[in-house]
Amino acid sequence: MEKDLKIKTAYKLYSLAWRAALPILKCNKRFSADWSQRISGEKLPSADIWIQAASVGESYLVREILDKINPSRPIKVLLTTNTTQGKEILESSIKDIRAKDSNILATAAYFPFDSPFIMKEAVKNVGPEAMILLEAELWPALMKTLKEYGSKIFVVNGRITEKSLNNYMKLPWLWNHLAPDNILAITENDAGRFRRLFPSSLIGTMPNIKFDRLRFNTVPEHSATSLGDIVESSSPFVVLASIRQKEEKDVERIVAHIKAKYTSAVIGLFPRHKQRIKAWEGILRNKGHRWELRSKVKTRVSKGTVVLWDKFGELTSAYSLATSTFVGGSLKPLGGQNFLEAISCGIVPITGPFWDNFLWVGEEIFNLGLARQASSWQEAAKMILYDLSNPPSRSKIIEKGLAYIRERQGGTDMACRLIEKVL
């Protein structure tokens, strides 16, 4: 009785918090354009399976699942995400499904806010047999409503940090009440943390689906794109990828250092978030660098130019042309960004000291020389300059990387078999 009262009180307070937050969120430009979709579950279609992918990374995982799942009957799938870029990826995946004429009828939408009164409406309209939460998606109102409706709840490609676990464990009785039916974690350490939070759930491990996403090709990808027309394949080309706001000053120092020491190098600068493009325009202009916006480039750029990438979806192609690459989100404690894709293109990526989000990759990848870790921006710049003078062998990197990745693939198949059992 006391536990039930605590849970009821917690949800009442959670609901009040959402009611107070919604007017504030409505003023946020990130949500205002799609506001009606985020606050109304009535706009969501019915589906057999509902898959939630928080952002870009998780949306790419959905693409892998949709490509390999093989239901024995026609099914409807609802794909939701929190971001505009995530939704674009999901919609692209749906087009691929339609082209294959599969048994899957999929729809993409924005994930509703996790307000209890919104989620009650959403789950009622969707009516899923199963909810698939990717990686670290734990939403109290959604999970409570799904349990009341009788839907199965699965966490796939699950990961949870010790810090997040400690926060969740402040209310262990609440999360135990919300326990998913099945959790497949990407490491045994993650599985152990999930067991502490959800002792009643069926919990196991799986290879990370991100390993399945890697495509190793000996034919440079730029041969099928227009990037070879703007950056000469034989020119020294540096890619500074997924740069986050908090590390911009250090990355600007890297740019200046490269331009001072290797004047002929073309630098491709990829901010992680599009809203930082304007800020980077100001930085490059104020520092006197020669630069161009990628969207404005129509012919081959001059040597020594910084190309500020404002077009989404070309990073892999840029890797296929690069002589060296630094992958951001790692010079400050931001968790790091995905550096595996660079390896699949024949480049040994450089990351900073902070890559906590990719510990699942394993330290062995550095021991084998497939990636390098710099302790500072100075060391990262030094490594880049070394690459420019000593270009690595793409074919050898791809061969070595392919062997490393193949040993760790198969997660998508495990996830699909789990979903198919429900159907």
CA–CA gap between residue 380 and residue 348 (Å, rounded) = 12
CA atoms within 13 A on the CB side of 191: 14
401 with 51: CB under 8 angstroms?
no
CA–CA gap between residue 173 and residue 194 (Å, rounded) = 14
What are the pLDDT digits (tens) for 158-191? 999 999 999 999 999 999 999 999 999 998 999 9
pLDDT at 286: 95
pLDDT at 339: 93
pLDDT at 369: 95
Neighbours of 42 (CB within 10 A): 12
**Which phi and psi (to 5°) does residue 272 adopt?**
-65, -35
- At residue 56, the 3 state secondary structure works out as helix
Helix H or strand E encompassing 237: strand 237-243
What are the pLDDT digits (tens) for 98-109? 887 678 999 999
CA–CA gap between residue 106 and residue 112 (Å, rounded) = 17
pLDDT at 230: 87
Task: Choose among 280, 286, 284: nearest CA to 304.
Answer: 284
Domains of the chain: 2-208+410-422 (3.40.50.11720), 221-406 (3.40.50.2000)
Burial 243-260 (b: 16+ CB within 10 A, else e): bbeebbebbbbbbebbbe
Positions of the chain with pLDDT lower than 70, given as ranges: 1-2, 101, 217-226
138 with 179: CB under 8 angstroms?
no
- At residue 202, the 3 state secondary structure works out as strand
What are the pLDDT digits (tens) for 10-69? 999 999 999 999 999 998 888 877 898 899 887 899 999 999 999 888 999 999 999 999
Torsion of CA 300, 345, 51, 103, to 10 degrees: 90
Beta strands in 32-92 (DSSP E): 49-53, 75-81
CA–CA gap between residue 264 and residue 188 (Å, rounded) = 47
Task: Choose among 153, 125, 127, 128: nearest CA to 139.
Answer: 153
CA–CA gap between residue 239 and residue 345 (Å, rounded) = 12
The residue whose two tokens read 């609440």 is 174
pLDDT at 357: 83
CA–CA gap between residue 388 and residue 385 (Å, rounded) = 5
